[in-house]
Amino acid sequence: MAESLLKVSGVSKHFGGFTALSDVSLEIAAGERFGLIGPNGSGKTTLINCISGLLRNDAGQIIFNGKQITRLPPYQRTRLGIARSFQVPRPFHTMSVLENLLVPSAYVVHMKDAEGEAKAMEILRSIGLADKAGLYANQLSQVELRKLELARAMAARPKLLISDEAMAGLAGNEVDEVLQILFKLNETGITIIMIEHIMQAVMRFSQRIVCLDAGRIICEGTPASIVQNVEVQKAYLGA
Amino acid sequence: MKFWLVALVIVLAAAGVAVSRINEYVFFAAFVVLTYVVLATAWNILGGYAGYVNFGTPAFFGVGAYTAVVLFKWLGAPLAVQIAAGAVMGGLLGFGVGMLTLRLRGIFFAIATVAVIFIMETLMINWRYVGGATGLQLLRPEAMAPFGSYTRMLFLVMTLMAVAAVALARYVQTSWIGRGLRAIRDSEEAAEASGVPTLRLKLVACVLSGALMGAAGAPMPMYLSFIEPASTFSLNYAIGALAAPMIGGTTHWLGPVIGALLLVTIQQIVTVTISSEINVLVVGVLLVAFVVLAPDGILGFFKRWLRASSR
């Protein structure tokens, strides 16, 4: 495996008496397409909240790009190169689509507005939102909101992009569209963690998959080996 | 450029009016209106731009006022020094309150700011040097040369302060700080994930807002020739500072200015023509009317109207 970009070791997180994550360790290589799956409530979003800094893990370490980031606030992690989309889209609703992208371009890349706008339009074009640049969030469709989440994450020029269920609730052809965008981003060298319930999409996208259940990693491997795994079948199908 | 030209015209006009022979009462009333322009503009930096509703305006205002009293009684400090010190103390209080409360969201933050009023008021009630609960009579110095009275001079000073406050709010709004504050108001998590240092920006907003409120309070003791805790820490300041931006519009620096001019002018007229009790009712009625009919304030209403008519 190439040099690891993200190293999560022994991360645990409790909410009161509930253990959301216990002793989770994983490594992700630069340029990798990584899938994170697991049934509802298995801790997927908690884990990426710990990685992006929205939550503080109670135990364990997170090292990104050779740097200890366990105690850093989220905005500093974004500046180091970790960007994320939210499961439930959280657009800046009083700003146009274009202005949404100007927030990270001002705060992460430190670009002047004119420069930032040109760059933002470039991102919107590549993601297929260019003709919506002047619209507001309440004028966008569900798939466009998901694309906006990704576009805003991209405007922060990440090394690692965490896509938290960017495809949930989308129609078949829309799923393909978002999947194509993620493939394209990966080709430019961006490492991607995909959290998804749509199996067909994760299986197609990921080079490697980790399955969480009740806050533990129950198995890890290639998409083909994951579907064969008895533990995974048990976690998903009960039985 | 246009902004500064208009600002200059306003200040020159105010100076002209101040040395004219217009009835003294006009200045007495206009001073209050201008004080609210400063308070509303200050409130809007945190409350409007960042969406953190601050009910503690009287605490900041009162700290400015009492700072001025202390400096005046102790050193006989001139008005400009009192105002500067009021701003510093207001800013410091903003920093302290911000550090303690800005991690709270929504209603919890609002409640915490109310508590600050009572803390400050209790402190002043128990401080003999500034008159305690009974208050302190202050002897105003002589008015300076071109002004016929001290109130006229205060009117011009408050005009300058209002212009300065609006200029600062306008700078905050149009700079990168403003964009970050808007992002915080829309979604704090998304703002952090977009690289916005939310806590630091909220602190900046809280300090600037507190400093302006402190400055606005500093001339009040001289205006009244008197200070006393109950009226200095009156909740009317909290409501006025909040109502004016709501009525005018919270997203633009012009909103609180329009709101304060409209609301407090009506209040002043009602106070004289009908009764001083009813003037508080005016705020309530206008606030309810705007929340129901024009939730984005006067500016939002016109923006929508312009957008609709251009179609």
Handedness of CA B272, B273, B274, B279 (dihedral sign): negative
How confident is the model at residue A2, as a pLDDT? 52
Query: Are A103 and B185 an interchain contact pair (Cβ–Cβ within 8 Å)?
Result: no
Closest CA to B184 of A114, A112, A50, A94: A94
* B113 domain residue, yes or no: yes
Spatial neighbors of B263 by CB under 8 A, at least 6 apart, are: B36, B240, B243, B244, B247, B282, B283, B286
Query: Which whole number is the average pLDDT over B141-158?
Result: 87
Residues 164-203 (B) with a CB less than 8 A from some CB of A? 176, 179-180, 182-183, 185-187, 189-199
* Facing residue for B195 by CB, picked from A75, A91, A93: A75
Overall number of domains in chain B: 1
- Position of tokens 């900046």? B204
Q: Hey, how many other C-beta atoms are within 10 angstroms of the C-beta on A63?
A: 16
How confident is the model at residue B311, as a pLDDT? 56
In this predicted structure, which of A191-200, B101-110, B230-239 has the lowest mean pLDDT? B101-110
Query: Are A53 and B192 an interchain contact pair (Cβ–Cβ within 8 Å)?
Result: yes
Query: Which of A52, A69, A75, A148 would best serve as a mutation to test chain B binding (most B beta carbons within 10 A)?
Result: A75
Q: Considering chain B, what is the average pLDDT of its residues? A: 92
B102: which chain A residues are within 8 Å (Cβ-Cβ)? Answer: none
Predicted complex ipTM: 0.90
* B260 domain residue, yes or no: no
How confident is the model at residue A1, as a pLDDT? 47
Domain that residue B173 falls in: 2-235
Read off the pLDDT of residues A199-213 as tens digits, 9 standing for 90 and up: 889 999 999 999 999
Closest CA to A127 of A151, A160, A162: A151
Predicted structure pTM score: 0.91
User: Which phi and psi (to 5°) does residue A214 adopt?
Assistant: 50, 40
Spatial neighbors of B142 by CB under 8 A, at least 6 apart, are: B150
Query: Which whole number is the average pLDDT over B53-70?
Result: 96
Query: Which whole number is the average pLDDT over B277-284?
Result: 84
**Structural domains in chain A, sorted by start:** 4-237 (3.40.50.300)
Quote the strand ranges of A30-99, DSSP E. 33-37, 59-64, 67-68, 82-85
Query: Which of A90, A93, A102, A117 would best serve as a mutation to test chain B binding (most B beta carbons within 10 A)?
Result: A90
Q: Rounded to a whole number, what is the distance in Å from the CA of B56 to chain A's nearest CA?
A: 26
Using the 8-state DSSP alphabet, how is residue B46 labeled? I
Read off the pLDDT of residues B156-181 as tens digits, 9 standing for 90 and up: 999 999 999 999 999 999 999 999 99
Q: Residue A186 corresponds to which tokens in the numbers above?
A: 């990966």
Q: Residue B112 corresponds to which tokens in the numbers above?
A: 């915490």
B195: which chain A residues are within 8 Å (Cβ-Cβ)? Answer: 75, 78-79, 103-104, 107-108, 156
Read off the pLDDT of residues B245-260 as tens digits, 9 standing for 90 and up: 999 999 999 999 999 9
d(CA B289, CA B286): 5
Query: Which of B194, B196, B310 would best serve as a mutation to test chain A binding (most A beta carbons within 10 A)?
Result: B194
* B289 domain residue, yes or no: no
* B162 domain residue, yes or no: yes
Q: Rounded to a whole number, what is the distance in Å from the CA of A109 to chain B's nearest CA?
A: 9
Percentage of chain B modeled with pLDDT above 90:
71
Measure CA of the first residue to CA of the last residue in chain A; give whole Å.
Answer: 35
Residues of A with CB under 8 A from a CB of B: 52-54, 73-76, 78-79, 83-84, 86, 90-95, 99, 102-104, 106-108, 152-153, 155-156
* Facing residue for A156 by CB, picked from B179, B194, B198: B194
* B127 domain residue, yes or no: yes
Q: What pairing do the DSSP bridges indicate for beta strands A208-213 and A216-221?
A: antiparallel
How confident is the model at residue B304, as a pLDDT? 82
Closest CA to A67 of A82, A55, A56, A46: A82
Query: Are B182 and A156 an interchain contact pair (Cβ–Cβ within 8 Å)?
Result: no
Query: Are A107 and B251 an interchain contact pair (Cβ–Cβ within 8 Å)?
Result: no
Query: Which residues in chain A land under pLDDT 70?
Result: 1-2, 239
A83: which chain B residues are within 8 Å (Cβ-Cβ)? Answer: 193
